[in-house]
Amino acid sequence: MDIRQMEHLRQEANSLFKNQRIDEALDLYKKSFMEGMKFMVPGSWNGPLEEQLSLLAYNICIVYYKRKNFPKSLTFGLESLKRCKNDKVLHKICTIYLRMGMLKEYVEMYEQIVDKSCCREIKVLLNRMKLGSQTIEKYLENRITLEKLYEMSKEISEGRFIPADVLESILEQGESLLLGCENVVYVESKGEVLVFGDTHGQYFDVVGVLNKVFDGERIFIFNGDYVDRGTHSVENFVLLISLKILFPGKVHLTRGNHELMDINKAYGFFDEVKRKYPFSSGSVYQKFQAVFRALPISIIVNEKVFITHGGLPGTPTKIDELQESYRMTDAHTDELLKGFLWSDPEEITGIEESKRRAGVVFGIDIVDQFLQGNGLDLLVRSHQAIENGYKVNHEGKTVTVFSAPDYEGTESSGSYLVLYPSNGREDEVVNVSRLTKYKVGRFGKSKPGETLKLSYD
């Protein structure tokens, strides 16, 4: 295939893209790109071929951007930039960095743009994230550091509370980061992805397990319900949002039903805030709610594993519908959000009314319809206190993970899932759902007063 044929395929793909035939366009772009790569000679320079490959990589970047799969979009954006530097590519990479919370990388890339008049999308996004050209520099200067997080952990272990001004600063940083996220966040990983369920204010247990499993290679997903019932809800969420700020590409959070205001007002979190911050409880509590509202609803790992706190709505749902819904609310009027935050699985067909008075109880046919309709393999959810923190439903297609050991006086371990790529080691595989492999990690109570010390390179 010569450059002329590559361009012919690219134009054909452009036509498909304009007609909303996205999958077909992506296949053609990739086919042309891979054919062109065969002619690349390491260490040599072929100007016309490099330019053509840059165009194709940019086209692929745009397709993934439209799909809101920003990690893959970034991969091809950087590939395009490597071969041909121009403002259009720089601009797109900057928007991706913002959406992924990679603000330091954004600043470095933005400085390379020559014609900044093309940056309208960036301005809109910065406004949405409550950031500006000057405030983003201030954000980076004031951002929580790992050393400060360790100091804060030591003070917590000694029984002291996080100072209100420090707390509010961290929450503001976290809100800005999360406002750049979509309702459904795509995560791409060639290594292990650890998924934790409800932690419900059990800060020291979270510290204990993170000290054992956190490293620079793995990706960590926390699947909602950080507050209520436990005695350290404030510290628990501040720890996790701080890790999100520090490692935006490695740590991801979703929203649980206890991150709804009327729930955390009734089940202990509001009273904890009043007790710990008697002179600023109103301000502190509202800042927490602002961050909770900004939390994404779901995460998709490697385009195959769907992670959400509760479960599925009672009606057939496409990922695009969830992406377009409005999440920045505490209202219970949105049936989609209620389904994803509140629903539970059961060994039935169809749906039944939930005793929770929100969401539904859903059966295997509902899961099959959702997974097949969205090209997914596995549903991972939390929301229910399960003995030893782990349960499988629906012939292995639904997995519940719960990560609060000895929850409310029970003698039960907490669990987390370790998702593997398709080349995961067979002897450690607990279950196989088509291309999806995972094992279960379990952990118990940590000693009170344990301090944070991560093995991070």
Residue in 217, 314, 296 with CA at minimum distance from that of residue 252: 296
Query: What pLDDT sits at residue 409?
Result: 80
Query: What pLDDT sits at residue 45?
Result: 65
Residue owning tokens 């404030």 = 234
Asked whether the predicted pLDDT for residue 425 surpasses 60, the reply is: no
Residue owning tokens 């997995």 = 399
Query: What pLDDT sits at residue 411?
Result: 82
**3-139 and 144-443 have identical folds:** no
Percent of the chain with pLDDT over 70: 95
pLDDT in tens, 219-246: 999 999 999 999 999 999 999 999 999 9
Query: What pLDDT sits at residue 17?
Result: 95
Q: Is the dihedral of CA 432, 68, 170, 326 positive or negative?
A: negative
Query: Catalytic residue among 200, 232, 252, 258, which?
Result: 258
Asked whether the predicted pLDDT for residue 21 surpasses 90, the reply is: yes
Query: What pLDDT sits at residue 429?
Result: 37
Query: What pLDDT sits at residue 40?
Result: 76
Kindly provide the b/e burial profile for residues 71-92, where b requires at least 16 CB atoms within 10 angstroms of the residue's own CB: bbbbbbbebbbebbeeeebbbb
- Largest Cα–Cα separation, the chain: 72
Asked whether the predicted pLDDT for residue 5 surpasses 90, the reply is: no
Residue ranges per structural domain of the chain = 3-139, 144-443
What are 429's two structure tokens? 């595989």
Query: What pLDDT sits at residue 457?
Result: 54
Q: Are 87 and 115 in contact (CB under 8 A)?
A: yes
DSSP lists the bridge partners of residue 261 as: none
Query: What pLDDT sits at residue 435?
Result: 40
Query: What pLDDT sits at residue 431?
Result: 43
C-alpha dist (Å) from residue 33 to 76, 162, 164, 325: 11, 52, 53, 35
What are 291's two structure tokens? 């961050």
Q: Among this protein's residues, is 200 annotated catalytic?
A: no
> What letter represents residue 374's amino acid?
N
Q: What is the mean pLDDT of residues 251-268?
A: 97
Q: What is the mean pLDDT of residues 120-149?
A: 89
Distance CA 123, CA 132 (A): 8
Query: What pLDDT sits at residue 43?
Result: 66
Kindly provide the b/e burial profile for residues 132-145, where b requires at least 16 CB atoms within 10 angstroms of the residue's own CB: eeeebeebeeebbe
3-139 is a CATH 3.90.180.10 domain: no
Asked whether the predicted pLDDT for residue 434 surpasses 50, the reply is: no
Distance CA 251, CA 248 (A): 6
Q: What is the mean pLDDT of residues 414-422?
A: 87
Asked whether the predicted pLDDT for residue 133 surpasses 70, the reply is: no
Q: What is the mean pLDDT of residues 279-290?
A: 97
pLDDT in tens, 295-322: 999 999 999 999 999 999 999 999 999 9
Residue in 263, 267, 244, 238 with CA at minimum distance from that of residue 164: 238
Question: How far from the centroid of its chain's Cα atoms is residue 438's Cα?
Answer: 18
Query: What pLDDT sits at residue 436?
Result: 55
Neighbours of 63 (CB within 10 A): 21
Q: What is the mean pLDDT of residues 21-45?
A: 87
Q: Are 310 and 344 in contact (CB under 8 A)?
A: yes
> What letter represents residue 171's amino acid?
L
- What's the mean per-residue pLDDT of the chain? 92
Query: What pLDDT sits at residue 100?
Result: 97
Query: What pLDDT sits at residue 357?
Result: 85
Q: What band does 430 get if pLDDT is binned at 50, 70 and 90? A: very low
pLDDT in tens, 389-399: 999 999 999 99
Question: How far from the centroid of its chain's Cα atoms is residue 137's Cα?
Answer: 24
Q: What is the mean pLDDT of residues 421-441?
A: 54
pLDDT in tens, 355-384: 998 989 999 999 999 999 999 999 999 999
* φ and ψ of 452, to 5 deg: -75, 130
* Count of H-run helices and E-run strands, the chain: 18, 15
Residue owning tokens 């959070």 = 253
What are 198's two structure tokens? 């409800």
Percent of the chain with pLDDT over 90: 80
Q: CATH second-level architecture of 144-443?
A: 4-Layer Sandwich (3.60)
